[in-house]
Structure 1
């Protein structure tokens, strides 16, 4: 196992000692802004190295505790693996303690340590009361079983014990995956003289190498990692779970802001409509109504949006998750499973949060049908989600799957490799045997119907077949055709065993036509006169005519006249045997006894079929015999 990277967050009410405790643990004062120094409060998240050994690296995020800086708090804790919830012994649980607890729970952060600070300021009785209050507040939350430690940042009491507890707790956790595509939500943007634009953030997933190409979303700006640093140390790589500073190539820092996302893959979804599983907080004070404006926090982004319900117009006292949608005023980068927080803009309060079911939400109708669909999306496995896509699109490329089914490269790879029912066609097109079978059945149905309606024709034109099945794509149709023993002949497709034939009721008259045509030899009438003579209606004439050509019963000279196949071949043979390498019209007329009316179309037919080549007033034989 390689080196493990973690980031912990210090959360809690304002002035409960988070920054002082961070300094006691790391020797770093994370209040770096002038205003923070002057007002003695944290305004922006502060960052510090906590632990760095060969097998593990831990960073600390110290988030603001004031209610006015909740947005900065959410951005700071978005990528943490463990929280240290700080409660001052002389004040106990306060409003922001509770709100921070709610936000941490909604963000899916389940690992925590509670620290009772400033213990030197209170006597033992008050300390015990504060401790009891904290334990009561944690009941029913994900941190109910979290260890509660005592510490005093100024005297140092309990600080080392806390440090060791953090390290041992993290050693028991699974670190973030480095296997996926790299993603770093930006929480700080600045410029360094002589270096250019630098961004900082916690790496959510994947790995980045120095010099690697990246994309900044949602703008779509292309850049490169000129340099990577972790807590002022120059590094060759950045890993999931790590705090990292990336020096960007060719980007003006004024183009960027907190909430932008740095990625190495174009497959991340940039969206303004997300389908979500929403949990409403019990302590919400004001009604939550259909299409009400909300502030949405996802990763480090903060955007306005509109809450859209499909099974209600307002929220009463809801205890179960609500499947709904949020339509955003600005685009964000999101993927399935990402956590989010919702706050009411006025009056300000945190109303809930949850996780993103589908980052590419559609336009749905109000009603149970949409709820059923969202339930299937919520519980669907990667295979089920891709199959739902294929039911609609039949055959899609891998990029489309990554985006629309919210899969990672690893999930897609494992799915395709783990089941031979999946079909991978050229150009990374993906389908499934179930869809191929549907396509085979449909082709069979089309061919059978075509043969019944047009028994004269040898089959369906392959291009026309693909056009009628365009929802399956040409590659998939070709693959489906290969699975059956259908006959292909000169661009036409027919069922195995099918032979073009005349409708039984017309066989006798068609035979009469050929006999009449052969009897007239090279002095034929217009072809439609033969059809009229044997009593074949005009609506059938074109089909029968092409059938005669296809079956080598006749050879058309031009739009009006045709020879029987036998007569034409005999004339070509006679001319070929009685001329040299070249001949002219006069020679041909003498040999075949044809008038100019028939001679010119006949010779032009030889040219068209590649038997002869016209050179000025002569014709040269290209094929010495027409028999082949």
Structure 2
């Protein structure tokens, strides 16, 4: 493994109220001015996300996002924070906690940000006594939030007071933190798309998970556009690879700037779900101004995407105050790319306010009935261990490949592979997984079905395998059914003769109620020798009902008890074989019809059908007026 792959990569964010000094603090920490747009310079606010490298050594690399603070730019703020590992909450000493600070705190909590540092800026503008008051005010506001136990650092971006202390605190904190998953499939939600003259289309974003390397084929979801990573940059420097946690720019082939937009996602595999219906667990903010109602229009911010949709409850029709997690569903107007565990924010489009946020339980939501049963099912999905999630996925999907299992369970390759070694799971065909319990269940179902068939059609060998597959394919995949049947044959549960499958211990037989009459009929046919009457006459005399004659005739033929000369005349099986032996022993290598008549003393009524049957069975071959023995 290279040094690059040993290194850990993190992105931190600056969050806080407008004009509290986030951009100035970023510049003081990094010597980079992240206000890059003309309108940002003119208005002295951050509209787009600004990025800068903070620190790098052999062990760690840290980047900074300067998140916009103005209410109108909340979308960009969410897009930035969604990909970060630590947040520096910026509060100006001369103003303290402001409304936007509180909203940012809510959003950070909903997005699952766990690490934070509080930077009290502009300390040179106020005296020490006032700073103490501001600290008390901030401490009180942070109770019950993700910043409740976060350290405070006093800084001034102009005089550089406290800047080194803040930078060292960030470095020390992240060195103790686990980095994002670099082992899974690559995913980068796009937050910027632009063109570079002579190079083409470039996308930029934070690598959520996995790694990407120069030349790698990629896919843009949800659009499904296949592209290739022509070149990579990390903080304006060429790179061969980009890792989870890094800010990366990717020069893409085969796509134009007009085809892409913020919210699209660059991935390396099909493991990610493209969906419009997601089962979720949400919390709402404490001080909602308006009631949240059933099927209310909402704006969902997930990754870098912003999508309209509706919220669907299954245990209520409205809410305003709720401290507990609520299990519900988001039905979106456009497709998004997500997986289990992804965080999101819900905002009311008009009047605009942050309603709440949460995480994705199942990206493959379906339509459910309103009621407690649905809530119980969602609860099971929510708390499931990796093992339980795999069981749930295979219970629903019956048979899944690794890619589908990753999509449905949101587990990484390593965790999934480890869990799949459990004896509850079975790999078959070398590529598909199923539950051992399901294999046994299907085997029992086929066994019972065969038993019913044997009782109803005791004279038939079994069920055509194609018929079994067709009848059960509505419930189980064909590959799995085929596997279960073949395994059943191998382990002695089933028998197979040509295309027919049967219970191993089953032997075709005449139904008990007709066995005696059938035996008597056979004795009469035997007694009549080679000069028999029509088979239908024997069946009628024996009292065999018309509904049974077809199956009985077929059974007696298959068992060799009777042999057809044609569709009317049948000889007793042993007599037919004896006639063949007699004729062969009393003729040479070839013979004519007259020779056969002399040997067997039969009229043409029987002789011609008999000889044609010998041809059909391969005993003889007709050449002009003669027949030549073949065996």
Q: With the length of structure 2 as denominator, give the TM-score of the two structures.
A: 0.94
Q: Is the 8 A contact 2:314 2:374 kept in 1?
A: yes
1:142 aligns with 2:157: no
Following superposition, the deviation at residue 227 of structure 1 comes to 1.1
Aligned to 1:347: 351
In structure 1, the residue corresponding to 2:532 is in which secondary structure? coil
Q: How far, CA to CA, are the matches of 2:626 and 2:155 in structure 1?
A: 110
Aligned to 1:494: 502
Alignment of 1:320-335 (within 5 A): 320-335=324-339
In structure 2, the residue corresponding to 1:128 is in which secondary structure? helix
Q: How far, CA to CA, are the matches of 1:386 and 1:611 in structure 2?
A: 60
1:194 aligns with 2:202: no
Q: How far, CA to CA, are the matches of 2:626 and 2:265 in structure 1?
A: 75
Alignment of 1:167-206 (within 5 A): 167-206=171-210
Q: How far, CA to CA, are the matches of 1:409 and 1:207 in structure 2?
A: 14
Q: Is the 8 A contact 1:359 1:406 kept in 2?
A: no
Alignment of 1:127-166 (within 5 A): 127-166=131-170
Deviations 1:464-509 (A, max 9, x none): 3333333343223333453444333333333343333323332222
For 2:467, which of 448, 461, 464 is the aligned residue? Answer: 464
Q: In terms of mean alpha carbon deviation, does 495-504 or 122-131 score higher?
A: 495-504
Aligned to 1:436: 439
Q: How far, CA to CA, are the matches of 2:625 and 2:126 in structure 1?
A: 120
Q: How far, CA to CA, are the matches of 2:489 and 2:391 in structure 1?
A: 22
Aligned to 2:609: 601
Return closer, same or farther for 1:190/1:510 CA change in 2, 3 Å cut-off: same
Deviations 1:80-104 (A, max 9, x none): 0000011111111111111111101
1:511 aligns with 2:519: yes
After superposing on structure 2, the runs of 4+ consecutive aligned residues of structure 1 that deviate more than 6 Å are: none
Following superposition, the deviation at residue 223 of structure 1 comes to 0.9
Following superposition, the deviation at residue 436 of structure 1 comes to 2.1
Q: How far, CA to CA, are the matches of 2:77 and 2:232 in structure 1?
A: 25
For 1:278, which of 260, 273, 282 is the aligned residue? Answer: 282
Q: How far, CA to CA, are the matches of 1:484 and 1:96 in structure 2?
A: 71
Q: How far, CA to CA, are the matches of 1:450 and 1:148 in structure 2?
A: 78
Alignment of 1:6-155 (within 5 A): 6-155=10-159
Q: How far, CA to CA, are the matches of 1:32 and 1:604 in structure 2?
A: 96
Q: How far, CA to CA, are the matches of 2:54 and 2:153 in structure 1?
A: 18
Return closer, same or farther for 1:543/1:304 CA change in 2, 3 Å cut-off: same
Q: How far, CA to CA, are the matches of 1:588 and 1:399 in structure 2?
A: 70
In structure 1, the residue corresponding to 2:271 is in which secondary structure? coil
In structure 2, the residue corresponding to 1:305 is in which secondary structure? strand
In structure 2, the residue corresponding to 1:370 is in which secondary structure? helix
For 1:356, which of 360, 363, 371 is the aligned residue? Answer: 360
Q: Is the 8 A contact 1:439 1:480 kept in 2?
A: no
Deviations 1:495-549 (A, max 9, x none): 3433333233322221222122223333322211110122212122122212211
For 2:248, which of 244, 248, 251 is the aligned residue? Answer: 244
Aligned to 1:372: 376
In structure 2, the residue corresponding to 1:605 is in which secondary structure? helix
Q: How far, CA to CA, are the matches of 1:128 and 1:540 in structure 2?
A: 101
1:452 aligns with 2:460: no
Q: How far, CA to CA, are the matches of 2:390 and 2:624 in structure 1?
A: 65
1:5 aligns with 2:9: yes
Q: Is the 8 A contact 2:16 2:100 kept in 1?
A: yes
In structure 1, the residue corresponding to 2:149 is in which secondary structure? coil
Alignment of 1:529-540 (within 5 A): 529-540=537-548
Q: In terms of mean alpha carbon deviation, does 611-620 or 152-161 score higher?
A: 611-620
1:563 aligns with 2:566: no
Q: Is the 8 A contact 1:217 1:270 kept in 2?
A: yes
In structure 2, the residue corresponding to 1:353 is in which secondary structure? strand
Following superposition, the deviation at residue 241 of structure 1 comes to 0.7
Return closer, same or farther for 1:277/1:615 CA change in 2, 3 Å cut-off: farther
Aligned to 2:231: 227
Q: In terms of mean alpha carbon deviation, does 170-179 or 480-489 score higher?
A: 480-489
Q: Is the 8 A contact 1:439 1:477 kept in 2?
A: no
Q: With the length of structure 1 as denominator, give the TM-score of the two structures.
A: 0.95
In structure 1, the residue corresponding to 2:523 is in which secondary structure? helix
Q: Is the 8 A contact 1:279 1:354 kept in 2?
A: yes
Q: How far, CA to CA, are the matches of 1:513 and 1:208 in structure 2?
A: 80
Deviations 1:252-301 (A, max 9, x none): 11100000001111121000000000101011111110011000000000
Q: In terms of mean alpha carbon deviation, does 544-553 or 473-482 score higher?
A: 473-482
Q: How far, CA to CA, are the matches of 1:38 and 1:588 in structure 2?
A: 115
Q: Is the 8 A contact 2:485 2:494 kept in 1?
A: no
Aligned to 2:406: 402
Alignment of 1:611-622 (within 5 A): 611-614=619-622, 619-622=627-630
Q: In terms of mean alpha carbon deviation, does 36-45 or 402-411 score higher?
A: 402-411
Q: In terms of mean alpha carbon deviation, does 439-448 or 532-541 score higher?
A: 439-448
Alignment of 1:309-324 (within 5 A): 309-324=313-328
Aligned to 1:425: 428
Following superposition, the deviation at residue 236 of structure 1 comes to 1.3
Deviations 1:45-91 (A, max 9, x none): 01111112111111111111100000000001111000001111111
Q: Is the 8 A contact 2:443 2:484 kept in 1?
A: no
1:478 aligns with 2:481: no
Deviations 1:117-151 (A, max 9, x none): 11111222222222221111111112111001011
Return closer, same or farther for 1:577/1:46 CA change in 2, 3 Å cut-off: same
Following superposition, the deviation at residue 304 of structure 1 comes to 0.2
Q: CA RMSD in A?
A: 2.0
Q: Is the 8 A contact 2:262 2:304 kept in 1?
A: yes
Q: In terms of mean alpha carbon deviation, does 181-190 or 582-591 score higher?
A: 582-591
Q: In terms of mean alpha carbon deviation, does 148-157 or 549-558 score higher?
A: 549-558
Q: In terms of mean alpha carbon deviation, does 540-549 or 170-179 score higher?
A: 540-549
